[in-house]
Amino acid sequence: MGRKKSETARSPEIAIRLTMPDYNRLSELSVTKGTTRTDLVREAVIEYLDRIEAKVEERVNDRVAQRLLEIEERLAAQHKKDTERLAKISSRCLIDVALVNQILYSRADKATRDKMWEDARNKALMRLNIGKKQGDPVAAELAKDALSGEA
């Protein structure tokens, strides 16, 4: 009742020849299992076909897994390259900021430049503290360094 008509339709008959020892083994096993030789052979063929299909599917899955690993490695290499590029850009920006600071400091009025630099430092620290209050871990670390005089 559970099978569809297409599953129960009879296929063309298949004839095979076995050696006598194999035929005797088949007969003994069918008696032991309490089934017919035909059912036993059908079960063996289906199991064999299932195993072959599983191996084919496994090879396909292995190829997909290999391809995914290749893609992952390529993405990791690109990510590393992009990270290094951003680090270089960041370093250049910091060097440029330091040069601008040196130029501004050297050209500022000698009487007021130390006070002006202290005000700028305090404003930067206030900005970092706002980020720290908003939960930015980088801002918290920078603010700590600025307060200790390491920044």
Average pLDDT score over the chain:
87
57-110 pLDDT tens trace: 999 889 999 999 999 999 999 999 999 999 999 999 999 999 998 999 899 999
- The percentage of the chain sitting over the pLDDT mark of 90, rounded to a whole number, equals 58
Q: Which pLDDT does position 1 carry in this prediction?
A: 43
The pLDDT, as a whole number, for residue 86 is 95
**The pLDDT of residue 21:** 96
* Rounded mean pLDDT, 36-61: 92
Q: What is the pLDDT of residue 128?
A: 80
Give the residue from 88, 117, 79 showing the smallest Cα distance to 100: 117
Which phi-psi region, left, alpha or beta, contains residue 87 (left: φ > 0; alpha: ψ -120 to 50)? Answer: alpha
- The whole-angstrom separation of Cα 62 and Cα 56 is 10
Q: Is the pLDDT of residue 135 over 90?
A: no
Q: What's residue 44's pLDDT?
A: 93
